[in-house]
Amino acid sequence: MWPPAALEFLRDLEDNNDRAWFRANRARYDDHLRGPGQALAESLADFGEPRFFRPYNDARFHHRPPMKEQLGIAIGYGGAGGFYVELSLDGLLVGAGRHHPSRDQLERFRAAIDDGRRARGFEQAVAKASAAGMELVEPELKRAPRGYPLDHPRVERLRLKNLTVFSRHPLEPWLHDERCREVVRAELEGARPLVAWLAKHVGPPVAA
């Protein structure tokens, strides 16, 4: 999997975050970070097509460093959600679900959670992801959304604004060998039911 040189590159990038440095070190990025990420994505082809996030930050509207200090890979990601893998100096992040759903998606999610039968399917999917080592994001709302009682039996789920599960692994030697691929596959496999539930009950955003 990712060689130790990938982390060396990320450390150097953190110390030299500008486009000129990145251009001069592009071969290191391609060989040690992007290349192994591509190999990982190819081994996960049954989860869907991969999309690599570009290494450049868009600094037009936000004050950010010129370069992203992580490699992000979205896999099988459609309008209803998908899978995600990210390597940075903060560790290896594995995620799945729908990040930042649209307003109409949240409305459909909440309607499904309000329905006991469909909510059970969501809980079963979350339980399978949890058994694989992934955890559901924390609710962002402080109380039930408008239109739902404060004492709703599934108020914790109604308070969600991101519909994702994730795991974050520290930088350890196993990231450099075959175990990394095995861990990522096992966790994404555990999250398949959640992605399928979202596709069925939430769907893609409705075009404005």
Residue 107, burial from CB neighbour count under 10 angstroms (0-12, 13-18, 19+): middle
Instruction: Please tell me the predicted confidence (pLDDT) of residue 61.
Output: 66
Instruction: Please tell me the predicted confidence (pLDDT) of residue 72.
Output: 98
What CATH number belongs to 4-201?
Answer: 3.30.930
Q: Are 67 and 55 in contact (CB under 8 A)?
A: yes
**This prediction's pTM:** 0.94
Strands (E), 57-178: 70-78, 81-88, 91-98, 135-136, 163-169
Instruction: Please tell me the predicted confidence (pLDDT) of residue 131.
Output: 98
- Domain coordinates in residue numbering, the chain: 4-201
pLDDT values of the chain reduced to their tens digit, one per residue, 208 residues: 999 999 999 999 999 999 999 999 999 999 999 999 999 999 999 999 999 999 999 867 667 899 999 999 999 999 999 999 999 999 999 999 999 999 999 999 999 999 999 999 999 999 999 999 999 999 999 999 999 999 999 999 999 999 999 999 999 999 999 999 999 999 999 999 999 999 999 999 996 5
53, 165, 139, 171 alpha-carbon torsion, rounded to 10°: -70
Instruction: Please tell me the predicted confidence (pLDDT) of residue 68.
Output: 96
CA distances from 97 to 6, 19, 92, 137 (A): 27, 32, 17, 10
- Give 109-146 pLDDT, tens digit per residue: 999 999 999 999 999 999 999 999 999 999 999 999 99
Residue 98, sorted as left (phi over 0), alpha (psi -120 to 50) or beta, turns out to be beta
Number of C-beta neighbours around residue 145 at 10 A:
15
